[in-house]
Amino acid sequence: MLQIGSAVAIAIGFASISVYKYQHEDTHFDTWHSITGLISVILFIFACLGGVVALYTATFKKLIKPAHVKLAHIIVGILTFVIGIISEIFGIYTRWFLYYCNETVQLVCTLLIVLATVLTLQSSLVNAYHRIKRLCHN
């Protein structure tokens, strides 16, 4: 359910930014923040599709081994998350952010995001490592 909520929030955010840029005849996808954001949205779609395939691995096991599907889903998910975080950090280092905040807030936000990222990725990276190790020994 959390993933569905995330997908809806991402779609609404992406659409609202695109509509705003279009209405104000502003350029889009011309900063590192917007480019990495677009990449993370595209990867998010693949991660969602991979999640559906991973959920129904019994149906697809004749085409691809369930362990491979789950590992690919984990890796794409981690990559999506990391690129999304990079996009978020790029967003913190924009003129817009500095207009509303100062450099101290910028630094604190960056440190908190990096800390949250490390804590969030910890179990996923361990899980990916164990799956890779298991696949290599089979």
Q: What does pTM read for this prediction?
A: 0.85
Whether 52 and 13 map to the same domain: the answer is no
- Residue for token pair 């908190």: 112
Whether 41 and 78 map to the same domain: the answer is yes
Nearest to 83 by CA among 30, 47, 119: 47
Tens of pLDDT, residues 15-34? 999 899 999 998 888 899 99
Query: What span, in angstroms and rounded, lies between the C-alpha atoms of 106 and 102?
Result: 6
Whether 130 and 80 map to the same domain: the answer is yes
Which of 7-11, 86-90, 113-117 has the least mean pLDDT? 7-11
What pLDDT shows up at residue 59?
81
- Residue for token pair 């889903």: 73
Whether 100 and 79 map to the same domain: the answer is yes
How large a percentage of the chain has pLDDT more than 90? 60
Question: How many structural domains are present in the chain?
Answer: 2
How large a percentage of the chain has pLDDT more than 70? 99
Tens of pLDDT, residues 37-78? 999 999 999 988 888 888 888 887 788 888 888 888 899 999
Whether 58 and 98 map to the same domain: the answer is yes
